[in-house]
Chains A and B, each alone.
Chain A
Amino acid sequence: MQINNEFKPKIVAFCCNWCSYAGADLAGTNRLNYPADVKIIRVPCSCRVNPMFILRAFQRGADGVIICGCHPGDCHYTSGNYYARRRITLLFSMLDYLGIERERTRLEWVSAAEGAKFSATMNEFAETIIKLGENKRLEDLRCKAE
């Protein structure tokens, strides 16, 4: 989105309910800043994230998509994030193969205690996306606001 010629990226963060969403919460209670352009979508587990969710986020105007889950070994459901890791790796590799900027997608493990990491990750990711600019390669022109 362009506001006064300044690029304000839209970022979608899929956060697992048990770790990363609580991590975001902690960042909030500790008054750590992260960009307001990060829209958090809470999911029960990182492995709930269907590749279609990620593509759909880009379609609906996201410039970057980040998936956050419990650290490997800490999954509330024991192994969900291990499955997610394989799927997301293959999906990211495919997007890269299709020539879509690989910096637009990221996966980070953030625990409930890592409020600072959550805030730092989001700030850094937003900066990366600002450098990359608007998502053009996976955009759907129908969804661009006029």
Chain B
Amino acid sequence: MQGRMIEMAKKLLGDGTVNRVIGWKKGEFAYDITPAVFENAEEIDADFVYDDFCGHNLSKYLIKESKKDGKMLVFLKPCDTYSFNQLIKEHRINRENVYIVGIPCEGKASAETIKEKGISGITGISSDGDNFKVNTIYGDETVAKSDVLEERCTVCKSKKHVVYDELIGEDGEVNENSSRFDMVAKLENMTADERYAFWRNELSKCIRCNACRNVCPACSCENCVFDNPNSGVSNKAAVTSFEENMFHIIRAFHVAGRCTDCGECSRVCPQNIPLHLLNRKFIKDINELYGDYQAGEESEGRTPLTTYTKEDCEPSIVNERGCK
């Protein structure tokens, strides 16, 4: 796959279709990959990589990049295309400045999960499809890829590209049977006290690094309310649970109806807070109350929170529904 991508990138750069390429650049180790812009064939030959650790959603970078001169080639995995489409809908990306090549994805692995298995001193990782052979200075280890997938990939919602100019490989299908709402349902079935304890435990880990916000393709405000000193939030003063709750509720709410569930927030959280469970709660509620909706599926039309019907349920439904 990497070979075909490099070939295509060089061809499109060569014939002038695009003047730069955004993709992934290899790092110091086998897994520490960085999103990067490549401007010529030499740079691509030297550093371009696409493997099981290229989890970063490149759509976010296009907000900035698509405003620059010239056309850019971007490689998008199926779930990244949903984020892209959503940004098109919100007029945040200049579509004519982007050339999208859809690439297949078989699920991305988390180096952190590999390390959590006690594997340290990693000097190399090779894959045979189902398993990783991890070379370390303490000896070689084998781990099953299915054991170290990112959470979002274990419940993959779709392998279909919703937008592209060209495709490498076959397009996949939407997975109707994804179990991504199982944990939300489990929480809903707990008592209020249990839910409160669960979230207090999780949100109290927050170190206010804002990584979840900054990586989020839906968080595209020029200036976030939490960065505005005049807004009265004391985000950096981590002294009360209130500020933690406030930040995460408001952030999730602001992306409600726009969040495509790409899972980047949970991937980047340095404290491993399951932030996707907040976003998925909104998605689940929207599906149940206002009809099935997948953000990013369409590049036009209204989102659930920018429309209404006269027959919508009343907020008192919260008292009547499943939550204990």
CA distance A80 to B256 in the complex (A): 18
Contact with B along A79-110 (1 / 0, CB 8 A): 10011011111111111111111110011000
Q: A86-B305, A86-B308, A92-B315 are in contact. Are A98 and B245 (CB under 8 A)?
A: yes
CA distance A100 to B199 in the complex (A): 10
Q: Chain A contact residues (Cβ within 8 angstroms of B): what range? A: 35 or more
**Total interface residues in chain B, CB < 8 Å:** 47
- Chain B interface, DSSP helix/strand/loop, else mixed: helix
Q: A82-B310, A89-B317, A89-B318 are in contact. Are A99 and B192 (CB under 8 A)?
A: yes
Q: Which one of B196, B304, B315, B319 contacts A100 once the chains associate, using CB atoms below 8 Å?
A: B196
Asked whether any CB of chain A lies closer than 8 Å to the CB of B181, the reply is: no
> Which residues of A in the span 106-146 have a Cβ within 8 Å of any Cβ on B?
106-107, 137-142
A98 touches B199 (CB 8 A): yes
B224 to chain A, nearest CB (A): 12
> Which residues of A in the span 51-99 have a Cβ within 8 Å of any Cβ on B?
51-52, 55-56, 58-59, 72-73, 79, 82-83, 85-99
B199 touches A94 (CB 8 A): no
A95 to chain B, nearest CB (A): 8
Q: A94-B281, A97-B323, A99-B198 are in contact. Are A55 and B315 (CB under 8 A)?
A: no
CA distance A96 to B174 in the complex (A): 31
Q: A99-B194, A99-B196, A99-B199 are in contact. Are A93 and B242 (CB under 8 A)?
A: no
B252 touches A86 (CB 8 A): no
A94 touches B249 (CB 8 A): yes
A140 touches B242 (CB 8 A): yes
A21 to chain B, nearest CB (A): 20
Interface-located stretch among B50-58, B104-112, B282-290: B282-290
Asked whether any CB of chain A lies closer than 8 Å to the CB of B193, the reply is: yes
Q: Which residues of A contact B250 (CB under 8 A)?
A: 51-52, 55
Name the CB-closest residue of A to B256.
A90
Contact with A along B233-264 (1 / 0, CB 8 A): 00000011011011001101100100000000
CA distance A98 to B202 in the complex (A): 11
CA distance A79 to B302 in the complex (A): 15
A99 touches B195 (CB 8 A): yes
Name the CB-closest residue of A to B254.
A51
Asked whether any CB of chain A lies closer than 8 Å to the CB of B63, the reply is: no
Q: Which one of B194, B232, B245, B304 contacts A86 once the chains associate, using CB atoms below 8 Å?
A: B304
Q: Which residues of A contact B249 (CB under 8 A)?
A: 51, 55, 91, 94-95, 98
Interchain Cβ contacts under 8 Å between A and B, 10 examples: A52-B225, A56-B232, A82-B309, A85-B308, A91-B253, A96-B192, A98-B196, A99-B192, A99-B196, A138-B242
Question: Chain A interface (Cβ within 8 Å of chain B)?
Answer: 51-52, 55-56, 58-59, 72-73, 79, 82-83, 85-103, 106-107, 137-142
Question: Chain B interface (Cβ within 8 Å of chain A)?
Answer: 187-188, 192-200, 225, 232, 239-240, 242-243, 245-246, 249-250, 252-253, 256, 278, 281-282, 285-286, 289-290, 304-306, 308-310, 312-319, 321, 323
* Given A83-B305, A85-B314, A94-B281, 8 new contacts (CB under 8 A): A51-B249, A51-B250, A56-B232, A82-B312, A92-B318, A94-B278, A99-B193, A138-B245
